[in-house]
Amino acid sequence: SLLSASLLGIDFANPLLNASGVYCRDVAELDALAASAAGSLVTKSCTLLAREGNPEPRYYATPLGSINSMGLPNAGYQYYLAYAQQHDYAAKPLFLSVAGLSLADNLTMLAAIRAADTPAIVELNLSCPNVPGKPQIGYDFAAMTAMLEAVTQAYDRPFGVKLPPYFDIAHFDEAAAILNRFPQVAFVTCINSIGNALIIDVEAESVVIKPKDGFGGIGGDYVLPTALANVNAFYRRCPAKQIIGCGGVTRGEHIFMHLLAGASLVQVGTALYEEGPGIFARLNDELAELLTRKGYRGIEEVRGKLRTL
Ligand SMILES: O=C(O)c1[nH]c(=O)[nH]c(=O)c1Cl
């Protein structure tokens, strides 16, 4: 139908899902997403052991978006694997986001996920922490290569990677060249939050979140152009892979932009946090109205059709 989407040969009723980390940390939230108009859902990035995460306030929203330094609070990978094993895949697909604190942790989690033999699709979060003092994995190309070499040995199913935003053409080139060495990396999710931003409250003359002296990843309106550029950069450079867009979606026309840029599915983070799962019905309606007004019969006709001048 009009909004039907496809990834890894799997059918989706529509291209929308949550961004990992938003509205997906416990069963109640995951069940609410499963019951919503979202075409699929992804779990909070998990670690080997459960984590409380950073002290609060660790999330703050402004009229233009959000800032967070959650610190990977999650119930531990077995919790999300158990959820994946009871999920009704006939209703909608489910993604498991994995963000091990070490390569060893990722290998342990992926081996368990593989052994469970669930239909869940793995999204490997490369914005996970690296050795202290070194940049996150997504910004350490040697570590990223080593991680993918080890993961593709341990996990023999197609999976995807969640990338941080890049801002330099040479970085798009280098990151894509690494990913293209791994055909098993079947999709790329662009982008994670733009890291280490700082939001200031003038009234209080203060930062707005407690961890890291107020430094945190931003999402929302702040990041839409960067998200679209990363979607299109990897769409152009990775013709054998699919792209999941993430960043800056608050209205149907933003989903349309992500589709034009090359996205097959589109994730919603900050706007979902602020509006709740009802947002998916609104966004699907707005997207359907836009597609119909423009004479499209399906989102497949839109994907990657961005014109240049
Ligand atoms: O602080 C977090 O939990 C977090 N926050 C983000 O904005 N992206 C991530 O990938 C993670 Cl893991």
Q: pLDDT tens for residues 7-57?
A: 999 999 999 999 999 999 999 999 999 999 999 999 999 999 999 999 999
Parse the chain into domains and list their residue ranges: 5-53+72-194+221-301
Q: How far apart (Å, rounded) are the C-alpha atoms in residues 204 and 178?
A: 45
**16, β-bridge pairs:** 266
Q: Pocket around ligand 1: residues whose beta carbon is below 6 Å from it?
A: 21, 45, 68-72, 99, 125, 127, 192-193, 217
Q: Give percent above pLDDT 90 in the chain.
A: 98
Residues 6+ apart with CB under 8 A from 204: none
Nearest-atom index, ligand 1, CA of 269: 7
Closest CA to 188 of 110, 84, 281, 258: 258
pLDDT at position 129 over 80: no
pLDDT at 54: 97
Q: Give, using CA atoms, the residue closest to atom 3 of ligand 1.
A: 72
Nearest-atom index, ligand 1, CA of 193: 7
pTM of the shown model = 0.99
Confidence of residue 275 (pLDDT cuts 50, 70, 90): very high
pLDDT at position 81 over 90: yes
Confidence of residue 175 (pLDDT cuts 50, 70, 90): very high
Closest CA to 123 of 79, 157, 73: 157
pLDDT at 128: 79
Residues 6+ apart with CB under 8 A from 144: 126, 137, 138, 175, 178
pLDDT at 131: 81
Active site residue 128: yes
Pick the CATH number of 5-53+72-194+221-301 from 3.20.20.70, 3.40.50.720, 3.40.190.10, 3.30.70.240: 3.20.20.70
- Mean pLDDT, rounded, for 257-277: 99
DSSP 247-259: S---SHHHHHHHH
- Mean pLDDT, rounded, for 193-210: 98
H or E element, residue 195? strand 194-198
What is the residue-averaged pLDDT of the chain?
98
- Mean pLDDT, rounded, for 197-216: 98
- Mean pLDDT, rounded, for 117-137: 92
Please tell me the number of Cα atoms within 13 Å of 18 on its side-chain side: 32
Q: What are phi and psi of 182, to 5 degrees?
A: -120, 90
133 C-alpha to center of ligand 1: Å?
A: 18
What one-letter code names the amino acid at 137? I
Nearest-atom index, ligand 1, CA of 217: 7
Ligand 1 pocket test: pick from 192, 209, 210 the residue with the most ligand atoms within 8 Å of its Cβ. Answer: 192
Catalytic residue among 128, 190, 238, 246: 128
Q: Give, using CA atoms, the residue closest to atom 11 of ligand 1.
A: 72
